[in-house]
Homo-oligomer: A and B are copies of this chain.
Amino acid sequence: MYYEPKIKEECGIFGIFGRKNASQLTYFGLHALQHRGQESAGIVVSEDGDFSIHKGMGLVSSVFGENNLRKLKGDRAIGHVRYSTTGSSLLSNAQPLLINSGKGMLALAHNGNLVNGYKIRRQLEKEGSIFHTTLDTEVIAHLIARSREKNIEDSILDCLKQIKGAFSLVLLTKDNLYGIRDPYGFRPLSLGKLGDGYVLASETCALDIVGAEYVRDIKPGEMVIINSQGVCSIQYAEGHSAFCIFEFIYFARPDSIIGGQNVHLARMEMGRALAREMSAEIDVVVPVPDSGISAAQGFAEEKGIPFQWGLIKNRYVGRTFISPEPEIRDIKVKLKLNPICEIIKGKRVLLIDDSIVRGTTSKRIIKMLKEKGAKEVHFGVSSPPVVYPCYYGLDTSNRRELIAARMSVEEICNYIGADSLTYLSQAGMLKALARTELGFCTACFDGNYPIGKGTGKYSLEEGRKCCGV
């Protein structure tokens, strides 16, 4: 089973307090969260008030080795894996941030996107602040440092009053580890217990890997403070659940539990819902690996039609050089996927995937299946069409790239060359997720933005002004 996201995006955060090997455990935790960001990785560890940091571009396993892990000594740490949502792909934009302030050393790691980040930044610059990165995280750091509150906790609370948007945060100070979710709980954050220590992680799979016991999710509008006395909680704002539904559709790992619901089983449920909404006559259900597997299984069970591995995925996909020769067309999809003829030949195939972004890969897969002898290729998507951009931390904001924002379902069907195309309805999807205790943000499907669009993204023009390491 699988969870390599098709659209690379988002971030993963991790924090730990009160465990001797804090950096080693954070390293494992980031490894389990690798699917949430492959661009950069970083760890800040602290011991007796001394902070050490290591970060770099690339996967967790290439950024960290025995040598730099050995140097990261301490019993408390935070970590971050990243794919950029704001700011460019630069080392200077890697997280965590570690800064000196009048209130002491402060390390921050952030998953999400502020809708008023740009506005606050401009105001701070006017007042004489300087910025080294294009991260919202640096805005948060400034607000904490400049707060008139004297102690750091009150300063953080002061900052939380000012920022608006999607944010799950872990912060490390000399004495405390903080875990914070925004009042709408757009992004996930879970609390676990490991012996005498505590763990915070974007997903429960990162609790599992370090052997921590899942305690509960941090609530929307909640801040937990972890130190040698234990955990205490402050509800700093009224909470309204508007959890990002795409975490269930494809971001989260299938083995994670969110809102009390296992993700893989939720996806199977969405497959079942799709089956109930759809009536095409088909011989075989084939998942697009890995993203369509759970839904395809649910679909097949619900309909009683055989689930078959009609497409095989090559596990060895590194950076592959492809010369621009005309005769090497379609190689891109072939480097990843190969059909099994015996399974699809002469059959009416239903391909299942969790979503369609630009449609180019879907188009190539369908062409390949038809060339190999499929009689018909139908396409089922276990979520509704993505029509609206996300302003809360998902990298689907460029509306021109979203095929469903430009074409009707019928047009998409023609474009990808399918014999039919069925999306799961929004109502069906929400019903499939009813077992969770969560409210959802469905803005990307219906345009209902819980907290407005803001100016959360730097314009391209802005971005161009600062590039390099």
Instruction: Mark A residues whose CB is within 8 Å of B.
Output: 1-4, 20-21, 24-25, 27-28, 31-32, 34-35, 38, 42, 44, 49-56, 59-62, 64-66, 68-72, 91-92, 97-102, 105-106, 121-122, 124-132, 134, 141-142, 145-147, 205, 208-209, 211, 253-255, 257, 262, 264-265, 289-290, 293-294, 297, 307, 309, 311-323, 325, 327-328, 330-331, 334-335, 338-343, 464-469
Contact = CB atoms under 8 A, between A and B. Distances in A.
6 contacts: A4-B315, A21-B325, A125-B145, A129-B145, A130-B142, A205-B338
A142 B142 CA distance: 13
A468 to B, nearest CB: 3
Contacts of A38: 316
Contacts of A312: 1, 3, 205, 253-255, 264
A343 to B, nearest CB: 8
Given A130-B101, A316-B61, A334 B465 contact: no
Given A32-B314, A105-B466, A125-B101, A340 B254 contact: yes
Contact of A315 (B35, B124, B131, B255): B35
Contacts of A24: 322-323, 325, 328
Contacts of A27: 321
Interface SS of A by simple majority: mixed
A53 B130 contact: no
Contacts of A127: 102, 146
B315 A51 contact: no
B341 A53 contact: no
Contacts of A328: 21, 24-25, 28
Contacts of A257: 341
B466 A53 contact: yes
A142 to B, nearest CB: 6
A265 to B, nearest CB: 6
Contacts of A4: 315
Contacts of A56: 469
